[in-house]
Every structure is written in C-alpha cells, then in structure tokens.
Amino acid sequence: MIGPNMTNITRVLSRIEEINRQLMPELYQNTAPIKSKFADALNEASRVPRRAQSNISGKTSYTELRDIIDECAEKYNVDNELIRAMIQVESGWNTDAVSNKGAQGLMQLMPRTAAMLGVIDPFDPVQNIEGGVRYISDLTDKYRGNVEKALAAYNAGPARVDSGNIPEVSKRYVKNIMAIYKRLREAG
C-alpha cells in the first residue's frame, strides 16, 4: 500500500495534464502522456506565457473595450455589434459579474468553458472577451451561420440546442440580444 488514499492525487495529476494539453498542445503532439511529479507539472504550467492582461475592472463601457472587441471581432470573424449586444445582456459591462449559476466576467463564461477555451482569468476583459468571441464563433460555425441557434447554445449549451430542448429563458436571451444587435447595426 502506497499510503493514504492516492485517488485524489491521481485526479489532480490527471487534471494538471489535461490543462497542460489545452494550454500547450504542441508539447503533446504525437507523444505518450507525460508522467511527472506534481511540482514538475506546476513548474511547467507556470512557464505558460500569460496573455496580455488589462487593468480594466468593475463597471466598464464599450469605449473602454472597443479595441479589444474590434480585435477579437476581426480575429474570429464575428460582428463587433453582436459582441457588444452579448456583453450588454450577459454582464451589463461589469468585468466582475458572476451569475447565480457561476458564469463569470463580461461574457459570462462558465468555469469549464473558460478552461476549455484556455481562459486563465475570466475576470480579465482581454481573456474573457477573446474566449467568449471564440466560443460564439465556434458555435456559429457549428450551426452553419445560424446566429440565433449559436446564441441559444452559448446560453443553454450545445447539447440542449442539439436535442431541440431550448429553455424559454434561452429563447428570451436570444430575442434580447438580437434586438440590441439590430439597434446597434441600424445606428451604424
């Protein structure tokens, strides 16, 4: 017997490897899983280059975030007015927003979604917006350009949309974003 229950340590090591695979996929291409000590894994993770961080926090505005939004809109081929509408509905431009379900930041990323997207700090506007825009872009691709379906999946999860079981709250969410999006586009 190795000692007290090693299951939790094994889980932690597995999770660290999973995070490393997401953050540094180039290290894992065509290789077997790397077995390392916990300290080695933490040291490796600390070498991951951090994204540029913003000093913006709390209640913000489009003016403060325009450059970030425009850069992400271009990078992921998403209309910047759609991003603005999403942020308005999701967080009301509050970088510190946390929903009762645990969604975080401007674009209200769930912790697992944020991790999947490589977002280390969901309260950092740069990381949150980039993660949220990348996610809505991926969903728009998945639903072949159907923005309303992509928005429903962003809110309720792709599994619910795929099953046709879209909750009423998600339908209202889509309707609210589309109304704001339309007004922003008309205002030009």
Residue 71 is a catalytic residue = no
Asked if 106 and 129 touch (Cβ cutoff 8 Å), the reply is: yes
Asked if 85 and 177 touch (Cβ cutoff 8 Å), the reply is: yes
**Spatial separation of the C-alpha atoms in residues 127 and 81, rounded to whole Å:** 19
Q: 71, 74, 81, 90: which is the annotated catalytic residue?
A: 90
Segments in the chain forming alpha helices (H): 7-23, 38-46, 62-76, 80-91, 111-116, 125-142, 147-156, 158-163, 168-187
**Residue 148 neighbours by CB under 8 Å, 6+ apart:** 174, 178
Asked if 135 and 113 touch (Cβ cutoff 8 Å), the reply is: yes
Please list the active-site residues.
90
